Amino acid sequence: MTSSGNSDGLEVGMVVAWTLSSNPSDNYLECNGQGVDKNKYPKLYALMHNTPDYRGVFLRGLGGNSAALGALQGDAIRNITASTYTTSPPQAASFEWGHGAFSIFDVGAQSVEPSGAYYSYIGRGLNFDASRVVPTAEENRPINKAVRYFIKAK
């Protein structure tokens, strides 16, 4: 036993990352928002009536740009910038670049002069594609490995 009376040295309310699919001892509850049984876990119940729900979120140390202690902070990405350049008006022959997330592409088009004459020209289009400069997915996320979070309940 430690001086705090806990055989594992952890205080009630401490959270641990668990890397196994099996659950730890009955002394821990999974951090999935479940209610805390006040008769079975009176010390934890005195701290909170539900476990925190840490499923699918990243835990972040307090300070810097973090939200307040215990607050859920929404996702965000850093700004993605790009630029383009042209040497002359679009209707004239020009040399164009796309930098960063921008790319230039050719567009075929037709136009009618006021006299009714037709002429064809090749136009330029501009694409914005963040995947040209950063890895992309259906979500914003840092490099990660999944764990399960448990809270010391007794």
Q: Rounded distance, CA 9 to CA 95, Å?
A: 69
pLDDT digit string (tens) for 81-95?
777 766 655 555 555
CB atoms within 10 A of CB 99: 13
Query: Is there a domain that residue 62 lies in?
Result: no
Closest CA to 79 of 128, 130, 126, 127: 130
CA distances from 55 to 58, 85, 109, 144 (A): 9, 46, 52, 14
Query: Is there a domain that residue 125 lies in?
Result: yes
Q: CA 59, 61, 67 angle in degrees (round to 5)?
A: 85
pLDDT digit string (tens) for 99-114?
778 877 766 655 656 6
For the chain, what is the domain count? 1
Query: Is there a domain that residue 100 lies in?
Result: yes
pLDDT tops 60 at residue 4: no
pLDDT band for position 126 (cuts 50, 70, 90): confident
Return the C-alpha torsion angle 126, 132, 133, 136, nearest 10. Answer: 120
Q: Is the pTM of this model over 0.85?
A: no
Quote the domain boundaries for residue 117: 82-132
Helix (H, G, I), strand (E, B) or coil at 131: helix
pLDDT digit string (tens) for 37-85?
999 999 999 999 999 999 999 998 999 988 999 899 988 888 887 777 6
Query: Is there a domain that residue 120 lies in?
Result: yes
Residue 41: CA atoms inside 13 Å, Cβ hemisphere, count? 22
Query: Is there a domain that residue 96 lies in?
Result: yes
Query: Is there a domain that residue 11 lies in?
Result: no
Query: Is there a domain that residue 145 lies in?
Result: no
